[in-house]
Chain A
């Protein structure tokens, strides 16, 4: 055999061995050194591939998996270089990566959040995260957000409430009451009123205070009016429970009870006061307890812009018209 033909035979053997190896390794598309989803993920996806961790690869379906965007992170951007985990050669369970985000993670919320904040701190809606109620309660970004999922439930208004209910049980019960914002119906999300990442308003209100947040949709209450009702301009939650209430119109209690917070009112309530309909319409009994209660007459309860009685008509100062 000539030298050349010997070389050719050796090459043919090498090619067949390589092809065999490729076929036998065909269960993984990650040949050593090949990234699977993100740039530089090869050292992770050599183990966490579609056979071992299909859920992990779902990050590719998200903005975090868009390779054309130069800002897109890789595994180690969030989980740390994790040399101990990657280089482990033993037969048992390897040490955890430097940073993990599951429920049993040994990392603190602050340590987990550092990964996210390295990119997202500059977002305009997250400027007030430090010192916010969620940050002080040690809520991690991954307590609410799913990064390795094509559908991040908290960012879809139909599924967002269920994420919030994990901690906010009272609100879940309130939304089941007969008068409620259409949040269970998927039309108003928690994040339509609250900014969970921090806010200048109380209770993480999206705008700077309660009234301005409510005016976003209920702007007819803003006024100002000729005749203002002080608790209305002060804070809508003086009378309303915005998540859900037993009384109509999201009132904390039905009129006249809600009005008794401040007003001594007129007329004596009680069983006799709700039947029968009285001959003389007046400021008592059925007319303060049934139907719309005090609002049967004081209908302009949020304020009246009526400037004038004229011909001795009803005084708008009492929100009668």
Chain B
């Protein structure tokens, strides 16, 4: 026997043994790689959910559909990829047992074609409860029925003079809106440089939402009001019926070659409303007695309250656009977008239950054309410096026909008035920014920007708004500077600071319209009851943001963000005859301050904790004719999450969010109403509680806990337990036990809620 033969004989059993033990490991690792790299998924989730009743789950179920006593959970997902052709096939269904179900199917051959179909439901369950006698909610003609007077202290019954109960019980109603959408999409690479994309979406929206209906004083409708008193008006909650459809179609042709990429697109959108007007059926006796009859040429309060309310009309828009980018070099690139949109609204008035005025056309013939041009240029002249310039011009031209509408108060100027197509405006923006990266990890940003807004001359509006009226300006210019500093202080610590200052001014005086000679005018007197839109006011804007990001070690990271933003509106100066009079009315200061701390901590190999706290203060200061309003909103939100593996089979997790929101109202009332032409000395700070509105708080707690147990490689059991609490002392619908009462004795409530949820689901993979 040769030496070689002896070696082979000794090797053979060793080889056989090792191959037996480890030879299969090659096949095993191949399987492992396949598992790590294969996108294949086949999974079904089935389970049940228990909830603690409708009354407790209205808030939790507002958008989740999780309300009532329980639901079925059903999800599935199947994804395949054909490795030979690179074709993906996907079938996904989610929340199939709920009102928020989604379903999608798609196929995609990468680099070649794709098509997809998706179905999606979105629900909104209004958390308010309406106690009413109304029937036909959600239709175009709800029927109003007077019900029993709501419970309230006897003293208030006397004070309000509400009629005694009529023995008719009301019932509870909740409003709901549901969107059901079907989408079709596809794309095809016609060549390696040319691609066609098409998306179509069809969405129905059905339900009802809060709305209002007033019928005010029949005598009030005459030039000289002649009747008032208990029967003078009716205020009703008549929910808006929603039965509409939105369709959108977008097609894009994308071309790219070397340095150029360009897209030509068409986007069409159509809105159809199947309910054109709301015409409630109103009885002549409500909770303040019989409604006032017609007086002279006026209508009775019942007629007024029953008259048609116009609902949104059908409309449509077509947009064509071209966008692209061109790389002049590796360091210089330009981009652009050009678009034109033609939007129209020409719904016939009579077809939707509305009566045109005697001299008005049969439809509005509304049209709005919008043209947009945006140009951008980016350069890197040296490695450390990037410069970017952007120019944007948008012109909205309201081409709606001007005709006579409004048969309003007899003998007053509202009788026969032109409409005012007010959608026109022009915006021009220009911005230059530069970022310079210095040594030691510093990076600085500096930018300047400018915007001009132009609004067209408007017709004389004194007929509608009276003397003093609506004050507008034609041209607003805003310019600003933006500075930023970023520093990578170390591998573990990074920070950034940014400052922004902007100033908006107009060279125009405030105007109330154009007179017959075509000149812009200012009225000689002001009764203080004017409209002073803040979008025309001079304004100073400041924004500061600072953030720090710290990785203390491999396990702990902390992030801090501090923000301050403030708008200060300048006093409006109005020219009255030969002198300027200061108006201190309108917006004053709007501000936001926010501090956030975030942390993430890995406290063992298997467990992680994360938490955050955000404190925000918003301030809203406006002045009106005889009131200074100073509203502050203070919000604290806390979040805590823990997740990890308790064992090789058991995963646990918990999430807690607590939010406290407080609204504080501080009013300043002038003791002498000088008609809005401001006199600061005449304004007197009120003392608490005085004339202040009571503060409001909202408190929510959301706790979610889950566990997932792996029965085997293909099966898991998931248990979820959740608790949500909502508490508020909002006086919007009731205060001190006295409800806000509509004329038919309808009331609305928003009860505090404690919702509990428990769910068990089985997850099976195939």
Contact = CB atoms under 8 A, between A and B. Distances in A.
Nearest to B245: A219
- From A209, A215, A287, A312, name the one whose CB has the most chain B CB atoms within 10 angstroms: A312
A116 interface: no
A67 B81 CA distance: 11
B386 A110 contact: yes
Interface stretch (B136-144, B342-350, B573-581, B715-723): B342-350
Interface string B295-313: 0011100011001111011
Contact of A290 (B26, B312, B343, B740): B740
Interface in B59-118: 59, 62-64, 81-88, 100, 110-111
Contacts, number: 508
Nearest to B112: A69
A306 interface: yes
A142 interface: no
Interface string B177-212: 000000000000000000001000001000000111
A77 interface: no
A81 interface: no
B271 A222 contact: yes
B256 interface: yes
B408 interface: yes
Interface in B377-403: 377-378, 380, 386, 388-390, 392, 394, 398, 400
A297 to B, nearest CB: 4
A225 B323 contact: no
B228 A314 contact: no
Nearest to A283: B216
A153 interface: no
Contacts of A61: 36-39
Interface in B2-22: 2, 4-5, 7-8, 11-12, 14-15, 18-19, 21-22
Given A173-B637, A277-B160, A297 B726 contact: no
B661 A178 contact: yes
B620 interface: yes
Contact of B529 (A10, A50, A264): A264
Given A29-B33, A307-B405, A315-B409, A127 B425 contact: no
Contacts of B64: 185
A305 B313 contact: yes
Interface in A245-290: 246, 248, 252-254, 257, 260-266, 268-282, 286-287, 289-290
Is the contact region of chain A dominated by helix, strand, or loop, or is it mixed?
loop
Contacts of A58: 36-37
Which residue among B111, B256, B392 has the maximum number of chain A CB atoms within 10 Å of its CB? B111
Interface string B353-368: 0111100100010111
A257 B528 CA distance: 17
Interface string B651-682: 00000010101010001010000001000000
Interface in A138-187: 138, 150, 169-170, 172-173, 176-178, 182, 185, 187
Interface in A46-66: 49-51, 54, 57-63, 65-66
Contacts of A91: none
Interface residues of B, number: 218
A57 B36 CA distance: 6
A27 B22 CA distance: 8
A272 B693 CA distance: 8
A292 B307 CA distance: 21
B435 interface: yes
A183 to B, nearest CB: 9
B761 interface: no
Interface stretch (B44-52, B502-510, B514-522, B532-540): B532-540
B735 A290 contact: yes
B147 interface: no
Contact of B23 (A1, A23, A65, A231): A23
Interface stretch (B166-174, B333-341, B601-609, B706-714): B333-341
A20 B631 CA distance: 80
B661 to A, nearest CB: 5
A187 B63 contact: yes
Contacts of B333: 130
Contact of A305 (B310, B561, B676): B310
B32 to A, nearest CB: 5
Nearest to A126: B325
Contact of B692 (A50, A270, A311, A320): A270
Contacts of B246: 217, 219
Contact of B726 (A178, A221, A277): A178
Contacts of A70: 111
A50 B29 contact: yes
A131 interface: yes
Nearest to B230: A279
Contacts of A263: 531, 624
Nearest to A301: B212
Interface string B228-269: 111011110100000010101000101010000101010001
A204 interface: no
B480 interface: no
A68 B85 contact: yes
A122 B312 CA distance: 40
Nearest to A158: B94
Contacts of B585: 264
A307 B354 contact: yes
Tell me which of A173, A231, A280, A290 has the highest count of chain B C-beta atoms within 10 A of its own C-beta. Answer: A173
B644 interface: no
B433 interface: yes
B273, B312, B627 — which one has the most chain A CB atoms within 10 A of its CB? B312
A295 B214 CA distance: 10
B29 A274 contact: no
A279 B111 contact: no
Q: Please name the 3 residue pairs, one residue from A and one from B, whose CB atoms are nearest each other, closest first.
A: A60-B37, A68-B86, A26-B25
9 contacts: A26-B22, A29-B26, A69-B110, A110-B380, A121-B327, A138-B486, A261-B533, A308-B349, A312-B408
Interface of A: 1, 6, 9-10, 12-13, 16-17, 19-20, 22-24, 26-29, 36-37, 49-51, 54, 57-63, 65-72, 103-104, 108, 110, 121-124, 127-131, 135-136, 138, 150, 169-170, 172-173, 176-178, 182, 185, 187-188, 198, 200, 208-209, 212, 215-217, 219-228, 230-231, 233-235, 238, 246, 248, 252-254, 257, 260-266, 268-282, 286-287, 289-292, 295-297, 299-300, 302, 304-317, 320-321
